[in-house]
Structure 1
Amino acid sequence: MGTKLSTSLEDWLHPEVSPRADRPTTFDPQAGFTKGRKERKMIATTEEMDRWQLPYGSRNYCAHHLIDVKKCQAKYAPFISHPCWDLMHVYEQCHYQEELVRVKEYERERRLLKRRQRKLAAARAAAEIPDESDNSANQKTE
């Protein structure tokens, strides 16, 4: 929630290890999973979302549940709260699960970026430190 607007001190101090929410992921989504991952698919079409006038912020993987809620609210127009509670609960649960997936993806990307930075730092350190056998050979020739 709010990853597009909020930043933390670590994001500001180390932007190279901070994932960007406005860009696609830099790592393969299937990497590290032996059995693979289930691909997430949109159930609601763009035409359905346009027909029900869903705001752009609600056009996510839970849009089909929100369309069901709006259908129920249209059916029971004056009394929209009570008859649609079960559908609203399903939508809220889906929205909660969607937020969990986003947070987990963000954390996975951040861990992989930190891992890449550690590997690059170790490679640079290994390249800069000469072997001790080279130092002893140089000292003997002097």
Structure 2
Amino acid sequence: MEKIEKVLASGNTHVAINRDPNAKPDALDLKLSAHGVETLEFVATDLHPRAEQLFSGAWAGCYFTVFGMVAAAKKVALPADFSVDIQTSIGSVGARYCLAAQVTVRVPGLATEVAEELAALAHQNCPYSKAVHGNIEVVTNIVTA
């Protein structure tokens, strides 16, 4: 597995439950951000994101769901403000290109050991995490405060 020497671009995705009673069903709402750019919010609109953002979005959505499933299986109640952020970066190693990712799981109030166990189980079961395992550098951060 190669580690990025120089980051060329990154895509960030934040996933949380939308509790807005006026949210449109079957609509896609995304907030995307990139280094040096303010957060862009796309609400029920056609998107033209970069590949890193699309991958981050798909992975974050899947990982968020799987994390909830493994928490339920372990009978762990997740906080209402549980969220997952994934930043996928494309970079270079010499003349070659590779990807790296940073996964941040926010579970305020949950014990760190419990959150770490759930995160590991989610990575073992999430199809995106399994696809990149051993192929790209993935750093997982757990925030319980």
Greater share of helix: 1
Taking structure 2 as the reference length, the TM-score comes to 0.24
Greater RCO (CA < 8 Å, at least 6 residues apart): 2
Alignment TM-score, normalising by the size of structure 1: 0.24
